[in-house]
């Protein structure tokens, strides 16, 4: 298990906001297993490179258009599972545009093997 799950969650969510594609890729390389799978509401991404592409798409679709992401509260961890909340809001302030949860499974080294995104209604 990761030693400080909250720090790792903050690192992951901060990568969503990072304008540098190489740094985003470094975070995915560090936190995700090579065969990781990420599923959001509409797509599934298999493998570390596909997960990097998903992060880039999120950046391009939202952050580059004036939004930013943040983790909310403390992450929960139990055995090989982690769950955390996130939100998206305008970078210059304003109402929260979206909220949701992530549920992930980790391998023995603490790397993400599966990550599922849930949007709040």
Q: Are 103 and 83 in contact (CB under 8 A)?
A: yes
Largest Cα separation within the chain, whole Å, is 40
25: domain CATH number is 3.10.450.50
Question: How many domains are contained in the chain?
Answer: 1
CA-wise closest residue to 25 among 58, 64, 56, 61: 56
pLDDT in tens, 52-73: 999 999 999 999 999 999 999 9
pLDDT in tens, 79-99: 999 999 999 999 999 999 999
Rounded to 5 degrees, what are φ and ψ at 100? -175, -170
Judge if pTM exceeds 0.95.
no
Domain of residue 21 covers: 5-119
Non-local CB neighbours of 40 within 8 Å, separated by 6+ positions: 54, 117
DSSP 2: -
Provide the percentage of residues in the chain whose pLDDT is more than 70.
97
């Amino acid at each position: 298990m990761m030693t400080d799950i909250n720090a790792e969650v903050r690192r992951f969510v901060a990568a969503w906001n990072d304008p540098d594609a190489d740094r985003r890729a470094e975070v995915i390389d560090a936190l995700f297993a090579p065969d990781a799978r990420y599923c959001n509401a509409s797509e599934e991404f298999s493998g570390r490179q596909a997960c990097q592409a998903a992060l880039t798409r999120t950046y391009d679709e939202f952050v580059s258009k004036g939004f930013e992401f943040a983790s909310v509260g403390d992450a929960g961890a139990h055995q090989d599972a982690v769950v955390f909340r996130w939100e998206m809001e305008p970078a210059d302030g304003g109402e929260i545009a979206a909220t949701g949860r992530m549920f992930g499974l980790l391998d023995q080294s603490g790397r993400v093997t599966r990550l599922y995104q849930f949007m709040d209604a």
